[in-house]
């Protein structure tokens, strides 16, 4: 029994010695093996990372080659848009096919340009016509055969029919719901119920292009609006205005059309009436609307310029017609009919008129 106990004690002592001396030496070896395995994994990952990174530049290079091609396509598309817009603009719908076909879009040259390289006058309005009324010589023409909507230039014919009808100018007329624009919904300061004399209605229609005033004038014509429009077309025919047609007295309809030559005839005829000369060139006028004074101003700012001598003036605008201007102006001692149709921008027609005046003055000075 004692011998067995001694063996057990010897075995325990041997195990203790083994744990003390052999295991500490084995641990670093195991740790080294583990760390070398982890290092091998890290090295493998690094190697695979390098392999991936070596592949990536090839992809980037490929995209860098394709990127310019895409951007060039975008650039070409961006360049193509204005052309498409220009084509769409050129196909602007009007009431008559011949009116649409005759219009060419305005020039977009530098604002400072007065003449083209060949010395001829350059204007931006799509249609331009300048005629000496004394000699009937045409000094300048651009798209002179165009038949196009004329907007409120119509009101010059409205005035001719009203004046030549001989109705009392002091007769009081009333604005009613029939005079409201239900076609283009344009604004007017002449409220329904406003009562003004025929002379005042005519004054505002010519100077400030008041649509309700023009319509009221037509309504109060003997036979009403149908008879008035018939009289407008009859007057145009009598004047030899073969390209002209009216369907209403305001110019809000794009079916009111004319040509530059016909409008020069209209300007000449309008100038024969002192009342039209006065009303179209008056700078401002005050009338009482619903008990309150209202100041109306001329739609053509050139009439207030001291360096201009204008006898007849009328502006017009609807989308189908663009911005229009007709004038009888004395330049260099010559009475000239100036017709500008389908101008782009609010100041283009005025700037074109200035260019025409300078050009005429230079031409006369060179004679």
Pair of tokens at residue 20: 């003390």
Q: How far is the CA of 302 from the CAs of 107, 238, 281, 326, 327, in angstroms?
A: 22, 31, 9, 12, 10
Active-site annotation holder among 155, 208, 253, 258: 155
Phi, psi (degrees; rounded to nearest 5) at 4: -65, -40
152 is catalytic: yes
142 is catalytic: no
**Residue 284, C-beta contacts closer than 8 angstroms, at least 6 positions apart:** 207, 295, 296, 297, 298
- Alpha helices (H) along the chain: 2-90, 97-102, 154-165, 198-207, 211-219, 224-238, 260-270, 274-281, 348-366
142 near 221, Cβ under 8 Å? no
For residues 230 and 223, what is the distance between their CA atoms, to the nearest angstrom?
A: 10
153 near 312, Cβ under 8 Å? no
323 near 99, Cβ under 8 Å? no
Q: What is the CA radius of gyration of the chain?
A: 43
**Residue 255, C-beta contacts closer than 8 angstroms, at least 6 positions apart:** 95, 96, 149, 245, 247
Give the pairing of strands 322-331 and 257-258: unpaired
209 is catalytic: yes
Phi-psi region of 234 (alpha: psi -120 to 50; beta: other; left: phi over 0): alpha
Q: How far is the CA of 279 from the CAs of 59, 64, 132, 274, 295, in angstroms?
A: 76, 69, 23, 9, 14
Active-site annotation holder among 92, 125, 142, 152: 152
Active-site annotation holder among 126, 188, 209, 259: 209
Q: How far is the CA of 111 from the CAs of 54, 82, 122, 353, in angstroms?
A: 58, 20, 10, 13
- Return the active site residues: 152, 155, 209
């Amino acid at each position: 029994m004692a011998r067995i106990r001694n063996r057990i004690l010897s075995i325990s002592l041997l195990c203790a010695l083994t744990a003390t001396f052999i295991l500490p030496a084995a641990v670093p070896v195991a740790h080294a093996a583990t760390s070398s395995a982890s290092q091998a994994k890290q090295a493998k990952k690094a190697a695979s990372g390098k392999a991936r990174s070596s592949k990536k530049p090839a992809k980037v290079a490929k995209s860098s080659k394709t990127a310019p091609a895409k951007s060039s396509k975008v650039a070409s598309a961006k360049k193509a848009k204005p052309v498409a817009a220009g084509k769409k603009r050129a196909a602007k719908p009007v009431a008559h096919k011949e009116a649409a076909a005759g219009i060419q879009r305005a020039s977009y040259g530098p604002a400072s340009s007065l003449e083209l390289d060949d010395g001829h006058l350059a204007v931006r309005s799509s249609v331009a016509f300048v005629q000496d009324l004394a000699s009937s010589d045409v000094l300048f023409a651009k798209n002179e055969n165009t038949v196009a909507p004329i907007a409120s230039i119509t009101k010059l014919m409205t005035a001719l029919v009203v004046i030549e009808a001989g109705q009392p100018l002091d007769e009081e007329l009333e604005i009613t719901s029939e005079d409201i624009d239900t076609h283009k919904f344009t604004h007017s300061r002449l409220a329904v119920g406003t009562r003004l004399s025929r002379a005042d209605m005519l004054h505002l229609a010519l100077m400030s292009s008041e649509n309700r005033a023009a319509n009221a004038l037509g309504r109060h014509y003997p036979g009403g609006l149908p008879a008035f429009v018939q009289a407008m077309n009859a007057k145009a025919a009598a004047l030899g205005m073969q390209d002209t047609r009216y369907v209403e007295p305001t110019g809000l309809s794009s079916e009111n059309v004319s040509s530059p030559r016909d409008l020069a005839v209209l300007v000449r005829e309008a100038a024969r009436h002192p009342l039209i000369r006065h009303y179209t060139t008056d700078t401002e006028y005050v009338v009482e609307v619903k008990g309150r004074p209202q100041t109306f101003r001329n739609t053509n700012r050139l009439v207030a310029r001291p360096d201009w001598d204008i006898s007849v003036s009328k502006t017009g605008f609807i989308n189908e017609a663009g911005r229009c201007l007709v004038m009888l102006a004395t330049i260099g001692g010559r009475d000239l009919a100036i017709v500008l149709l389908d101008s782009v921008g609010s100041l283009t027609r005025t700037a074109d008129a200035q260019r025409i005046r300078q050009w005429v003055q230079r031409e006369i000075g060179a004679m």
